[in-house]
């Protein structure tokens, strides 16, 4: 926009400057008519040799003789001067005529000023139009038949549940002959980075139809009505494309479709209008229009139920975090087309539990960057290791000198306390790394254990998990004495308290409440003292058990803690 504006302005500005300087120049340089005394003017008048007189406001007048010569003389300033001249048949003008150069300059000046004003007005009009316009929403149809389900690893169930949509888009007659209705709207829900956008794009690619991607937040504007008209414009665009079929993908649908809050005073008109426009559009098109709207959200339960009714977004597909075999596939997919050396993919699939696809992608990208920085020809396990620490704990601090030896000691025993309880109590959870190198995330060190993939956590597991969390403080207590325990356990204690409270107040695993749920009871305003007392007893009891466990393994703790101080980082194989 700026460029075009500049281009349109350059010419008028040049003309403006030239005409202005010509005008000024000619005013000072054009030959002045020679002066004649007023008496000789009168003589000429008598001789009827004067054709025109120019009377201006100045104290000089100009006159032209019948032979065309122009002279200047004094203005007599008398009242009947003009009348006298007129009655002797002489033309009287109140302006001395401009010469041709001056005329052109003046025209140039006027035209260029008009041009500049016009350009300015137009650009400001475009600007205001832009913020109101539906065109500002950038929903270009993308067609990329090369982008298919192959670009998405794992998520097999999700792919299966959208296979019929792909079939329908390819061959709608088949479905019509069965009288089958294909969903107009599909909601993909799940954690960020699990591949919702990827799946929507792949459906379009598989079916070979255009893909329109927008985000819910694009529709929420300050001006009421803009969102709604943008929605209509988007569907119009989709309907008018030459293929007739398309996928419309609306990311972050929550921005328009969030549940209305119960104190409805805060409800926003703009969002309601936008949501209504969307619902109207969806109800408005026929199945055989071949438009499928796919929306994505992190949480299904926050959406307005109006969106989820039959005939609207009536198919809900969960895109979950990848399990171990899916992670293996995702890792393989992202390592493809990269120079891969010695990387134990199975191992990495295990280490990355609870990683989303996007996080795995960024881990591998980080490893590639590290390998490149080290000028290694291939990406190796060691690069993955570094990348892993970076993604999990922020950058390892380069300068370790400032860490005092006492701090190192405390951290080493604390972390080994976690490691030992984890190794003994939860042998299925691998302790893949113990380190005393602080990270920018602020931890003095950390122990990385990889939880098993499991759906439920039982009481036994939760208790053991609490022991692992308390293991750090327990080791400090035993090794340095009760007077020298540190603040390092702050976060561990927070997490431990959370588990204890949840066990007793929510999961029905305590005595005080039994199977009752605290949240439900809280409306009755009962006092929580007993619950807190039980939480305390539980944690105290678990703490004692943890200390006992550590005391039984003191030799192991001493040996490994010394090794940790020496090497700063220990891996799985160092802990056997």
Query: Cα separations (Å) of 321 from 41, 70, 192, 354, 356?
Result: 105, 97, 9, 7, 5
Site for ligand ADP in 325-384 (CB under 6 A): 330, 333, 357-358, 361
**Closer residue to ligand ADP, CB minimum distance, 193 or 257:** 193
Q: How far is the CB of 296 from ligand ADP (least distance, A)?
A: 6
* Count of residues that interact with ligand ADP, criterion CB under 6 A: 17
**Closer residue to Zn ion, CB minimum distance, 32 or 494:** 494
Site string for ligand ADP, 260-299 (x = CB under 6 A): ------------------------------------x---
Q: How far is the CB of 447 from Zn ion (least distance, A)?
A: 7
Beta bridge partners of 219: none
Q: How far is the CB of 557 from ligand ADP (least distance, A)?
A: 41
**Closer residue to ligand ADP, CB minimum distance, 41 or 149:** 149
Q: Which of 254, 429, 492, 534 binds Zn ion (CB under 5 A)?
A: 492
Instruction: Say which entry of ligand ADP, Zn ion, none residue 472 contacts (CB below 5 to 8 A, set by partner kind).
Output: Zn ion
Active site residue 270: no
Interaction between residue 153 and ligand ADP (CB under 6 A): yes
Q: How far is the CB of 159 from ligand ADP (least distance, A)?
A: 10
Interaction between residue 154 and ligand ADP (CB under 6 A): yes
Residue 186 CB contacts under 8 Å (≥ 6 apart), including other chains? 162, 165, 292, 293, 294, 295, 313, 315, 316, 317
Alpha-carbon torsion, ordered 222, 223, 227, 228, to 10 deg: 150
Residue 312 CB contacts under 8 Å (≥ 6 apart), including other chains? 184, 185, 279, 282, 283, 306
Instruction: Say which entry of Zn ion, ligand ADP, none residue 290 contacts (CB below 5 to 8 A, set by partner kind).
Output: none
Interaction between residue 160 and ligand ADP (CB under 6 A): no
Query: Cα separations (Å) of 82 from 39, 88, 441?
Result: 17, 10, 95
Site for Zn ion in 364-393 (CB under 5 A): none
Q: Which one of 176-184, 300-308, 489-497, 501-509 is the stretch in contact with Zn ion (CB under 5 A)?
A: 489-497
Site for ligand ADP in 185-214 (CB under 6 A): 192-198
3-state secondary structure 120-172: HHHHHHHHHHHHHCHHHCCCCEECCCCCCHHHCCCCHHHHHHHHHHHHHHHCH
User: What CA–CA distance (Å, rounded) separates 359 from 357?
Assistant: 5
Q: How far is the CB of 331 from ligand ADP (least distance, A)?
A: 9
Q: How many CB atoms lie within 10 A of CB 496?
A: 23
Closest alpha carbon to 574 in 468, 434, 464: 434
Q: Classify each residue of 500-511 as buried b or exposed e, where b means 16 or more C-beta atoms within 10 Å of its C-beta.
A: bbebbbeeebbe
**Closer residue to ligand ADP, CB minimum distance, 153 or 420:** 153
Site for Zn ion in 428-487 (CB under 5 A): 472
| Residue of 191, 415, 534, 568 marked active site | 415
User: In whole angstroms, what separates CA 95 from the centre of its chain?
Assistant: 67
User: In whole angstroms, what separates CA 42 from the centre of its chain?
Assistant: 87
235: helix, strand or coil: helix
Q: How far is the CB of 193 from ligand ADP (least distance, A)?
A: 5
List of residues contacting Zn ion (CB under 5 A): 472, 492
The residues annotated with a catalytic role in the active site are: 415
List of residues contacting ligand ADP (CB under 6 A): 152-155, 192-198, 296, 330, 333, 357-358, 361
């Amino acid at each position: 926009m700026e460029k075009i504006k500049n281009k349109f302005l350059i010419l008028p500005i040049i003309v403006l400057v030239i005409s202005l300087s010509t005008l000024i120049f000619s005013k000072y340089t054009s030959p002045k008519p020679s002066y004649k005394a007023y008496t000789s003017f009168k003589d000429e008048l008598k001789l009827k040799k004067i054709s025109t007189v120019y009377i201006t406001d100045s104290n000089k007048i100009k006159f032209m003789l019948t032979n065309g010569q122009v002279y200047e003389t004094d203005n007599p300033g008398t009242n009947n001067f003009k009348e006298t001249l007129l009655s002797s048949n002489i033309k009287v003008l109140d302006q001395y005529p401009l010469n041709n150069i001056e005329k052109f300059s003046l025209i140039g000046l006027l035209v260029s000023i008009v041009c500049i004003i016009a350009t300015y007005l137009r650009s400001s009009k475009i600007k205001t139009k832009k913020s109101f316009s539906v065109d500002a929403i950038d929903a270009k149809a993308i067609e990329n038949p090369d982008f298919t389900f192959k670009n998405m690893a794992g998520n097999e169930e999700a792919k299966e549940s959208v296979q019929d949509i792909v079939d329908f888009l390819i061959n709608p007659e088949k479905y019509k002959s069965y009288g089958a209705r294909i969903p107009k709207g599909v909601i993909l829900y799940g954690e960020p980075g699990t591949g919702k956008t990827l799946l929507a794009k792949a459906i379009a690619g598989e079916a070979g139809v255009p893909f329109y991607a927008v985000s819910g937040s694009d529709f929420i504007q300050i001006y009421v009505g803009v969102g709604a008209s943008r929605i209509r414009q988007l569907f119009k665009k989709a309907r008018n494309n030459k293929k007739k079929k398309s996928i419309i993908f609306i990311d972050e649908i929550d921005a328009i479709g969030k549940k209305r809050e119960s104190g409805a005073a805060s409800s926003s008109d703009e969002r309601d209008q936008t949501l209504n426009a969307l619902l109207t559009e969806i109800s408005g098109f026929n199945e055989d229009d071949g438009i499928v709207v796919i929306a994505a959200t992190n949480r299904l339960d926050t959406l307005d139920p109006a969106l989820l009714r039959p005939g609207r977004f009536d198919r809900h597909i969960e895109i979950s975090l990848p399990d171990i075999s899916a992670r293996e596939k995702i890792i393989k997919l992202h390592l493809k087309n990269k120079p891969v050396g010695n990387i134990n993919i199975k191992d990495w699939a295990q280490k990355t539990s609870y990683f989303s696809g996007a996080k795995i992608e960024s881990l591998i990208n980080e490893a590639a960057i590290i390998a490149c920085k080290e000028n290694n020809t291939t990406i190796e396990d060691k690069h993955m290791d570094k990348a892993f620490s970076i993604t999990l704990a922020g950058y390892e601090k380069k300068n370790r000198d400032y860490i005092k030896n006492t701090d190192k000691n405390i951290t080493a025993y604390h972390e080994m306390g976690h490691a030992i309880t984890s190794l003994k109590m939860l042998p299925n959870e691998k302790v893949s790394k113990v380190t005393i190198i602080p990270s920018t995330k602020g931890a003095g060190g950390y122990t990385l254990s990889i939880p098993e993939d499991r759906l439920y956590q039982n009481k036994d597991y939760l208790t053991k998990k609490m022991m692992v969390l308390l293991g750090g403080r327990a080791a400090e207590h035993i090794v340095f004495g009760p007077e020298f325990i540190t603040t390092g356990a702050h976060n561990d204690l927070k997490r431990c308290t959370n588990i204890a409270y949840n066990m007793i107040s929510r999961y029905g695993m305590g005595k005080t409440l039994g199977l009752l749920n605290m949240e439900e009871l809280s409306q009755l305003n009962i006092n929580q003292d007993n619950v807190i007392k039980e939480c305390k007893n539980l944690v105290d009891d678990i703490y004692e058990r943890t200390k006992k466990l550590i005391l039984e393994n003191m030799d192991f703790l001493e040996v490994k803690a010394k090794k940790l101080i020496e090497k700063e980082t220990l891996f799985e194989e160092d802990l056997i």
